[in-house]
Amino acid sequence: MSAGGGARDLAEAGAVLAAEAARFASFGWMRGTSGNLSVVLSRDPLRLAVTASGRDKGELTSADVVLVDERGAAVQGGRPSAEAALHARVAASTGAGAVVHVHTVASVAMGRRKPGGILLRDLEMLKGVGQPAHGVEVRLPVVANSQDMAELGDRLEAARDPRMPAVVVAGHGLYVWGADPRQARHHTEVVEWLLELELTGR
Ligand SMILES: [Zn+2]
């Protein structure tokens, strides 16, 4: 974030996140007011723009965004979701520049079916998360849900596989990350595709 340009940077981030949210909402991945998206605006100190809580994710504007700190507490703007703390945790621990959290049916169904993690191999689509298409088994971790974001963050960090930019939260949804909002979007679409395949294929 540039010095003195905070409000403008936040509005620009809000516009990007609103467009990303509208896309995911159109896929049915942000039903009701569920899910949230974030983008890192500065590393030191860590500051993220996060979508505002309680809004329809298909109707966000550039103003529906909150600036939060490394604990997910609001620095500027309205009320962030409690899940903002987990976005900050993911950004800090993975070095990601953008985080996507969506409540998809496939992630919840597969988390229920494979509570120990979802094994993936021999799929061309694995290239979409930076993995070889053949010969390597990759595990998409599944962690138990919690309403305590510190506890959920601990579980996510412990379970995370550095080869896979995503974690499934059982009974809840999916966290996915990338270097920027575009890569986080691509990773989300690929991981969701893999989950849908596993769901229908077995
Ligand atoms: Zn959620």
Q: What is the overall mean pLDDT for the chain?
A: 94
Q: How far is the CA of 36 from the centre of ligand 1 (A)?
A: 7
Q: How far is the CA of 86 from the centre of ligand 1 (A)?
A: 10
CB atoms within 10 A of CB 74: 15
Q: If 0-12 CB within 10 Å is exposed, 13-18 middle and 19+ buried, where does residue 125 land? A: middle
CB atoms within 10 A of CB 19: 14
The mean pLDDT value for 153-161 works out to: 96
Q: How far is the CA of 99 from the centre of ligand 1 (A)?
A: 12
Q: How far is the CA of 146 from the centre of ligand 1 (A)?
A: 10
pLDDT in tens, 10-58: 999 999 999 999 999 999 999 999 999 999 999 999 999 999 999 999 9
The C-alpha atoms of residue 38 and residue 20 are separated, in whole angstroms, by 10
The C-alpha atoms of residue 5 and residue 47 are separated, in whole angstroms, by 14
Q: How far is the CA of 5 from the centre of ligand 1 (A)?
A: 31
Q: How far is the CA of 177 from the centre of ligand 1 (A)?
A: 15
Question: Could you say which of 3.40.50.150, 3.40.980.10, 3.40.50.10470, 3.40.225.10 is the CATH number of the domain covering 6-201?
Answer: 3.40.225.10
List, as residue ranges, the binding site for Zn(2+).
101, 103
- Angle at CA 47, nearest 5°, toward 148 and 172? 30
Q: How far is the CA of 11 from the centre of ligand 1 (A)?
A: 23
pLDDT bin (cut points 50, 70, 90) of residue 202 is low
- Which SS3 state, helix, strand or coil, does residue 39 take? strand
Domain boundaries, the chain: 6-201
Q: How far is the CA of 103 from the centre of ligand 1 (A)?
A: 6
Q: How far is the CA of 64 from the centre of ligand 1 (A)?
A: 17
Q: How far is the CA of 141 from the centre of ligand 1 (A)?
A: 17
Cis-peptide into 45, omega within 30 deg: yes
Q: How far is the CA of 184 from the centre of ligand 1 (A)?
A: 17
Q: What are the CA-CA distances from residue 196 to residues 9, 105, 110, 135, 193 (Å)?
A: 36, 9, 8, 21, 5
Q: How far is the CA of 83 from the centre of ligand 1 (A)?
A: 7
pLDDT in tens, 67-100: 999 999 999 888 888 999 999 999 999 999 999 9
Q: Which of 131, 122, 117, 124 is nearest to 164 (CA)?
A: 131
- Are 100 and 176 in contact by the 8 Å Cβ rule? The answer is yes
